């Protein structure tokens, strides 16, 4: 299947690569000519601009936009809408606010252009591991894209099947779901990221308590100097708190037990705020997720070991840089 890919950053470029490995044909464009040239050198068709990209796609066209939420995505979707035809599909694979998806889908519907939102999880590891995807849009458009989505998804792997799932949508077991109409994909991904904030915060606080067990404020016979890398490693194996986030934490601690390269200033990319907003709109109590978001705000004022761990985890799974690495 043929797909246009706009935005060749950390995830966009690897999405194109994973599709190419699966035998799909990608036409790629980015403002960075070097990014386009790199993928063209790997056998993909490079485009000079959006109009050139659209012209190189056979109808019905599908274009995957992988850009930061907000103006970059909005402007690109609007530009593509002026170049595409009825029956074509615009896919937003970034972290757009779901209400913007609803508005865009309603705007494009009179033109006969399908709009599909894909909440995409996998970060910089997605090329090898695959991408977990939560998808919103019409059944017609999502079904048309299934070969692309199946190729990007991680597949069943070695995860045991959940008892009692017989007769349910098998796509979930492959690592992707059609969550509902426009906006539903990004809404589910938004909550996914809100939960991610809470999980990361729990690890960070727990390791902070472990690290400070040698505090001089404690009685001498109650102080322990604990091995953070070994604790992270042993928890990975058979523990009820094992997870991929813990795997990534263990990698970071093995490299630098003090996490000295991380200042402890932790960014928030928007989804955590939107999750809290949704909780308020629905009158749902979300103490953990809200506190995790507020901790990130506070991290920009003073930096604890736990906040350095949050930065380390963000770098490990998403390549998010909040520090300057020595060359």
Looking at the annotation, which residues are catalytic?
A: 189, 196
Q: CB neighbours of 201 closer than 8 A, spacing ≥ 6? A: 288, 291, 292, 295, 306, 310
Phi-psi region of 323 (alpha: psi -120 to 50; beta: other; left: phi over 0): beta
Half-sphere CA count of 57, side-chain side, radius 13 A: 32
Between helix 228-235 and helix 184-211 the angle, nearest 10°, is 130
Contact yes or no for 39/33 (Cβ under 8 A): no
Cα–Cα distance for residue pair 74/226, rounded to 1 Å: 49
Contact yes or no for 28/44 (Cβ under 8 A): yes
Contact yes or no for 276/295 (Cβ under 8 A): no
Smallest CA-to-CA distance from 197 within 145, 121, 142, 275 is with: 275
Starting at the edge strand found earlier in the chain, the sheet holding 2-6 runs 45-46, 25-29, 2-6, 62-65, 89-92, 114-121, 132-136, 176-180
Smallest CA-to-CA distance from 186 within 256, 124, 111, 118 is with: 118
Between helix 71-81 and helix 98-108 the angle, nearest 10°, is 10
Cα–Cα distance for residue pair 43/20, rounded to 1 Å: 8
């Amino acid at each position: 299947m043929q797909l246009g890919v706009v935005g060749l950053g950390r995830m966009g470029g690897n999405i194109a690569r994973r599709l190419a490995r699966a035998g799909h044909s990608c036409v790629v464009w980015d403002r960075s000519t070097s990014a386009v040239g790199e993928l063209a050198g790997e056998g993909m068709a490079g485009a000079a601009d959006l109009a050139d990209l659209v012209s190189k796609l056979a109808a019905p066209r599908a274009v995957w936009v992988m850009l930061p939420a907000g103006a970059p995505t909005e402007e690109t979707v609007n530009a593509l809408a002026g170049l595409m035809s009825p029956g074509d599909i615009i896919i937003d694979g970034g972290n757009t606010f779901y209400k913007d998806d609803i508005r865009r889908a309603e705007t494009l519907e009179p033109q006969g252009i399908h709009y599909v939102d894909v909440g995409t999880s996998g970060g910089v590891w997605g090329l090898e591991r695959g991408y977990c995807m939560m998808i919103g849009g019409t059944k017609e458009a999502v079904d048309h894209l299934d070969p692309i989505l199946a190729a990007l998804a991680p597949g069943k792997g070695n995860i045991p099947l959940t008892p009692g799932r017989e007769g349910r949508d098998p796509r979930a077991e492959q690592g992707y779901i059609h969550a509902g109409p426009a906006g539903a994909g990004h809404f589910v991904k938004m909550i996914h990221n809100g939960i991610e904030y809470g999980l990361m915060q729990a690890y960070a606080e727990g390791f902070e308590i472990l690290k400070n067990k040698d505090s001089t404020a404690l009685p001498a016979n109650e102080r322990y100097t604990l091995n953070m890398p070994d604790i992270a490693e042993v928890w990975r194996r058979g523990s009820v708190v094992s997870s991929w986030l813990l795997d990534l934490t263990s990698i970071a601690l093995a490299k630098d037990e003090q996490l000295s390269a991380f200042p402890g200033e932790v960014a928030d990319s928007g989804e955590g705020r939107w999750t809290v907003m949704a909780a308020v709109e629905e009158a749902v109590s979300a103490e953990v997720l809200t506190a995790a978001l507020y901790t990130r705000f506070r991290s920009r004022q003073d930096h604890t070991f736990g906040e350095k761990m949050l930065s380390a985890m963000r770098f490990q799974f998403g390549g998010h840089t909040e520090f300057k690495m020595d060359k």
